[in-house]
Amino acid sequence: MKIAVDTMGGDHAPEVVIKGVERARDEFSDLEFLLYGDEDQIKQYLTNTERMTVVPTQSVILGTDEPMKAIRQKKDSSMVMAAQAVKQQKADALFSLGNTGALLAAGIFIIGRLKNIARPALMPTLPGMSLEKGFNFLDVGANAEAKVNYLIQWAVMGSFYAHEVKGLANPRVGLLNNGSEFDKGDKLHQEAYQELSKIKEINFIGNVEADGLLQGTADVVVTDGFTGNAVLKAIEGSVKVLMSQLKHALLNNGSRAKIGALLAKPALSSIKSTFDVASYGGAVLMGVKAPVVKSHGSSDARTVYYALVQLRMMYNKGMLNQVIEYFDQQPQN
């Protein structure tokens, strides 16, 4: 398996990217890498070139670049060149820590949508208290608008992922809604509920609400990209504010609190690890012709490593073929 890596995206590129790639290369003998980026910088960090091909690129898509414009105009960028390699079947999968919007555009317009998939969706894995491997949440922002058939396709793809890649026997699929009863939400959600109930290939458990997500109310949660984006950010923002409040409270309430914090440190670290989603991998762009994974710009080498493990699993389990087969057999709407 060959993975095309955009080494120039993210806050600590290309150092952390190279480190993560080398760890994956050393561990899995079936992996080869095409490294797109500034040749001098890559070589500065690369310890050896076994199963590595460095492909020099001339520009970088920045976090502040307008996504569509960036992929059209920066054709010699590490991200666009890496996506082109996948399109031309020189590589089997794409990995980047760069501009999310640009990666979505590169995935959809360069690599291309899978036949029969109306709209690809972005799917991260988030922690759930009762879940060993977290839950999958899609769409979190690849699409600003949603239709019933998009939601259904996302539910099916999310369920296939949870089954094949995460190894869940019968993943529970929930529809994010503003109440648990079948008739909750607007027309879109009421219709989606009805349609999801009819699909025998998924274990649809009905509507789920946003306050139950982190408790592990479902293994796959389907929502429109607007709500999904807002809920994802609300969770991230809440965790961040609470952790910073916690830190502030322990460090600014006198020596007693400080000693307490010192004694409780290992226990407090265990909370952090609960919310450490690095081992779950990155966000998958579901519905394009090859596995594409995006990790946070702030990722470290460990996060990069796990995202590559995730891409390898998606490839080895043939998840995309399963999606293709399923949708080939469906009447198209």
**Residues forming the site for its own copies (CB under 8 A):** 129, 141, 144-145, 176, 178, 185-186, 189, 209-215, 223, 225-227, 229-243, 245-246, 249-250, 252-253, 256-257, 259-268, 270-271, 274
Nearest distance, CB of residue 252 and its own copies, angstroms: 8
Which residue number, 7 or 177, has a Cβ lying nearer to its own copies? 177
Nearest distance in Å: CB 259, its own copies: 5
1/188 with CB nearer its own copies: 188
CB closer to its own copies, 62 vs 324: 62
Q: Which is nearer to its own copies, 75 or 246 (CB)?
A: 246
Give the nearest distance from C-beta 100 to its own copies in angstroms: 10
**CB closer to its own copies, 162 vs 176:** 176
Q: Given the complex with its own copies, which of 125 and 227 has the nearer CB atom?
A: 227
- Smallest distance from its own copies to CB 89, Å: 33
Q: How far is the CB of 274 from its own copies (least distance, A)?
A: 6
The full 3-state SS of the chain, as one line of letters, equals: CEEEEECCCCCCCCHHHHHHHHHHHHHCCCCEEEEEECHHHHHHHCCCCCCEEEEECCECCCCCCCHHHHHHHCCCEHHHHHHHHHHCCCCCEEEECCCHHHHHHHHHHHHHECCCCCCCEEECEECCCCCCCCEEEECCCCCCCCCHHHHHHHHHHHHHHHHHCCCCCCCEEEEECCCCCCCCCCHHHHHHHHHHHHCCCCEEEEEECHHHHHHCCCCEEECCHHHHHHHHHHHHHHHHHHHHHHHHHHHCCHHHHHHHHHHHHHHHHHHHHHCCCHHHCCEEEECECCCEEECCCCCCHHHHHHHHHHHHHHHHCCHHHHHHHHHHCCCCC
In the complex, least distance from residue 185 CB atom to its own copies, rounded to whole angstroms: 6
